[in-house]
Amino acid sequence: MDTAYLQAMIENLPGIVRARINRRGGSIVVEYDGSPESRNKLLDTLRDLPAETYAHADLNGSMAPELADVFLKGALTLASLKTPLEVSAPLSLLLGLPILLKGLDTLFSQGIKVETLDAAAVGLSLARCDFFTANSIVTLLTLGEHLEASSENRSTELLKSLLRPQVEHVWMERGGEEVRVPITQVVVGDRVICGPGDIIPVDGTVADGEASVNQSSITGESVSVHLYPGKEVLSGSVVEEGRMIIRAERVGAETSMARITRYMENSLRMKSASQTHSAELADRLVPVTLALGMAIFLLTGDMTRATAVLTVDYSCAIKLANPVAVKTAMYDAARGGVLVKGAQALDALAAVDTLVLDKTGTLTNGVLNVTDVIPTGKLTPDALLALTAAAEQHYAHPVAHAVVRAAEERGLKLPAMSNVDYIVAHGVSAYVDDERVLAGSLHFLQDDEHVDCSGVSELADRLRREGSNLLYVSRSGILEGVIAFRDDLRPEAPAVLRGLKATGIRRIIVITGDHRDTAQAVIGQLNDVSELHWEMKPEDKSRIVKDLKDEGGGVAFVGDGVNDAPAMITAQVGICMPGGSNLAKEAAMVLLLEDDLDGLLKARQVATHTRMVIDNCFKSAVGFNSIVLLLATLGLLPPVASALLHNLSTVSILGYAALGNRSTARG
């Protein structure tokens, strides 16, 4: 059973303050608000545990020894110096028996592992009646296990603390009155009231009032955000000043915080290739140490020297440093506005050398604005805009939104519309006042629908060179005009791309469905772009990514739309902007939580720095323990000193793994 998952699940139930699972005692200790509802919900959950609870091995491994165990064994070790043989012998055997049994069980079930080494070291000491050394090794092993487990648990709890806002009851507006209800009773459409100090419990839109809100737990941005009617609200944010009524759009398991928590819980189970490789290498070094200890005993007959060698083990530091470093990196990345889905994502992102970006909504703001409305017939600009908006008004596309928004801003009344047909990546066909209206690309109108657009060729060329996108509009087969849009480049884009190049990204490739001239006018401002592909269809994105992967190296794709999901899955690393579709967010391995490109650079920096930290931990573990092993082999270290130095090196390396990333995401 995965007790870490079970604990996280219990602690996220309404009314639960904290939970502790004692596997050795077969019990669960839960602190809750005392309400019958919370108690019943807890019992119902425990009666019917989800399959995920049993589907994975426990993240924390075996039961970690308590600090009291360490003190008890330490006291008994010191006592063995003064107690008579008839007392110290059975006492030492009793202390060492769990390690001996565990070593034998591991030997027969898994082969020669670190537990076998520990058992051999304790067994040799007991065999030569060196009870103080045997007890000292047992105490140091217990202390090491306690510190290692504490380090890993702290990194896990650090991560969970970022994701678990406790909201049990909320105030709502119902029938003109304010009522307090359990959070579990909130449904989509409810009007939730939040005031100073409140954690916002739902995703939604401000319906009334205004407030200053701290979104640092979601976006990593410490500067407060001013929210007012119409602005989007994210669950987990904290109201600092003001009061507002929020119309709930996503509640319970569908809120931003719930999705992020679910991502993190799943990502903690994912092991990277480097983590697996390090663990395998550490396991291969164990038989070498055991063979060296046995060889020294056979050649010299010196059991003390052989025991000292057997206390040195590479495995602990190498195996544990990786998950501790990864969890710390995930925490710091989230604080910096980036959600990284586990060790695999970090590992893959650090290995990326080619970055592919979808232009619209990624390098640009993703908000199109109408800049020119140019009729070619008898319609006025307002009439052309109203005609187009009528055809586009129910189309969920940035161009359609821009047209409709421009018509609303001008206060235009839209004519009646019917028989709408959306043609993906081309445009829209609709009947407006019983006449067929087409609005879309030049290719759609001229090549597919055979509308003569030659009269605006020079005008179109000029607008594209200025960086505008064009929407061609026809009625009853006659071109009625052109509407120009512009999507401005994100102001931080040039600096971010330069920073990415500095981290080792060799190629930056931009893909867009825009016309060549429009794309070049916008991307021409970015000196670090290696390649530009224009007039691309949605299916072309994944094809280009696949071709780049086939060339070798690591490829990351950055996008936000439904059409970007196949490319994200194809790439080694999919990266999604915060405004991306749900499908894109699910497909991505990295989610940017803040609507700018700075998070992309932060994610890359955290990934490369984490790889450096893990490499340093590996080299330190191998280097320091090799020195201790050499000194033990030469007889310069007694077993107790050898065990002490080994455990000190392990704890030091884990401390470095836990602290090595702490400033990266905020740098």
Q: Which tens digits make up the pLDDT trace of 133-146?
A: 888 888 877 876 77
Query: Which pLDDT score, from 0 to 100, does residue 218 have?
Result: 58
Provide CB contacts within 8 A for 239, sequence distance 6+. Answer: 194, 195, 196, 197, 198, 200, 211, 212, 213, 214
> What mean pLDDT do residues 294-322 have?
83
Three-state secondary structure call for residue 216: helix
For the ranges 18-22, 125-129, 254-258, 504-508, which has the lowest average pLDDT?
254-258
User: DSSP secondary structure string, 610-633?
Assistant: HHHHHHHHHHHHHHHHHHHHHHHH
Maximum separation of any 2 CA atoms in the chain, in Å: 112
Three-state secondary structure call for residue 69: helix
State pTM to two decimals: 0.68
Closest to 103 in 3D by CA, of 93, 112, 116, 90: 116
% of the chain surpassing 70 pLDDT: 85
Q: How far apart are CA 316 and CA 327, in angstroms?
A: 17
CB of 128 within 8 A of CB of 301? no
Strand 225-227 to strand 169-174: parallel, antiparallel, or no bridges (unpaired)? unpaired
* Per-residue pLDDT tens digits for 281-296: 777 778 888 888 889 9
Provide the mean pLDDT of the chain: 82
> What mean pLDDT do residues 28-40 have?
87
Q: How far apart are CA 79 and CA 256, in angstroms?
A: 56
Q: How far apart are CA 213 and CA 667, in angstroms?
A: 24
441: pLDDT strictly greater than 50: yes
Query: Which pLDDT score, from 0 to 100, does residue 416 have?
Result: 83
Closest to 466 in 3D by CA, of 352, 372, 555: 372
Q: How far apart are CA 638 and CA 634, in angstroms?
A: 10
Query: Which pLDDT score, from 0 to 100, does residue 396 have?
Result: 63
What domains are defined for the chain? 3-45 (no CATH), 169-260 (2.70.150.10), 369-486 (3.40.1110.10)
Read off the pLDDT band of 561 (50, 70, 90).
low
The vertex-300 CA angle with 298 and 302, nearest 5°, equals: 95
202: pLDDT strictly greater than 80: yes
Residue type, 407: A
Provide CB contacts within 8 A for 14, sequence distance 6+. Answer: 37, 38, 41, 168, 182, 183, 184
CB of 494 within 8 A of CB of 343? no
Q: Give the range with max mean pLDDT: 105-109, 155-159, 538-542, 631-635.
A: 631-635
Q: How far apart are CA 58 and CA 7, in angstroms?
A: 11
Angle between helices 131-161 and 85-109 (to 10 degrees): 50
Helix (H) or strand (E) holding 482: strand 478-486
Residue whose token pair is 């009334």: 208
Read off the pLDDT band of 662 (50, 70, 90).
low
332: pLDDT strictly greater than 60: yes
Q: What's the token pair of residue 287? A: 């038989």
Q: What's the token pair of residue 5? A: 């998952």
* Per-residue pLDDT tens digits for 368-404: 889 999 999 889 999 999 999 998 887 767 788 899 9
Residue whose token pair is 């010191």: 78
Q: What's the token pair of residue 421? A: 């047909």
List 28's β-bridge partners, or say none: 21
Q: What's the token pair of residue 297? A: 């005993």
* Per-residue pLDDT tens digits for 313-330: 777 777 778 878 887 888
Residue 155 has φ and ψ, to the nearest 5°, of: -65, -35
Sign, Cα dihedral of 294, 300, 306, 312:
negative
665: pLDDT strictly greater than 50: no
> What mean pLDDT do residues 485-498 have?
90
Residue 522's Cα: distance from chain center in Å? 31
Q: How far apart are CA 426 and CA 78, in angstroms?
A: 82
Residue scoring higher pLDDT (508 or 569):
508
Number of CB atoms found within 10 A of residue 235's CB = 26
205: pLDDT strictly greater than 90: yes
Read off the pLDDT band of 647 (50, 70, 90).
confident
- Within 13 A of 420's CA, how many CA atoms are on the CB side? 17
Euclidean distance between the first and the last CA atom of the chain, given in angstroms as a whole number: 39
Q: How far apart are CA 456 and CA 481, in angstroms?
A: 8
Q: Give the range with max mean pLDDT: 6-15, 57-66, 602-611.
A: 602-611
Sign, Cα dihedral of 424, 425, 431, 436:
negative
> What mean pLDDT do residues 269-277 have?
66
For the ranges 21-30, 274-283, 399-408, 601-610, which has the lowest average pLDDT?
274-283
> What mean pLDDT do residues 345-355 have?
92
Residue scoring higher pLDDT (97 or 312):
97
Q: Is 37 exposed, middle or buried (0-12, 13-18, 19+ CB in 10 A)?
A: middle
Query: Which pLDDT score, from 0 to 100, does residue 562 have?
Result: 63
CB of 503 within 8 A of CB of 450? no
Q: How far apart are CA 527 and CA 524, in angstroms?
A: 7
> What mean pLDDT do residues 220-232 have?
76
Closest to 152 in 3D by CA, of 657, 665, 618: 657
Residue 235 — left, alpha, or beta (φ > 0 → left; ψ -120 to 50 → alpha)?
beta
Query: Which pLDDT score, from 0 to 100, does residue 152 have?
Result: 64
* Per-residue pLDDT tens digits for 590-621: 888 888 889 899 999 999 999 999 889 888 98
Query: Which pLDDT score, from 0 to 100, does residue 55 have?
Result: 55
Would you please indicate which residues are annotated as catalytic (active-site) residues? 358
What one-character DSSP code corresponds to residue 359? I
Q: What's the token pair of residue 288? A: 């070498």
Q: How far apart are CA 149 and CA 52, in angstroms?
A: 23
What one-character DSSP code corresponds to residue 237? -
Residue 224's Cα: distance from chain center in Å? 23
Number of CB atoms found within 10 A of residue 633's CB = 18
Residue 596 has φ and ψ, to the nearest 5°, of: -155, 170
Q: How far apart are CA 439 and CA 228, in angstroms?
A: 34
222: pLDDT strictly greater than 60: no
Query: Which pLDDT score, from 0 to 100, does residue 257 have?
Result: 61
CB of 331 within 8 A of CB of 663? no
Q: How far apart are CA 165 and CA 161, in angstroms?
A: 8
Number of CB atoms found within 10 A of residue 566's CB = 20
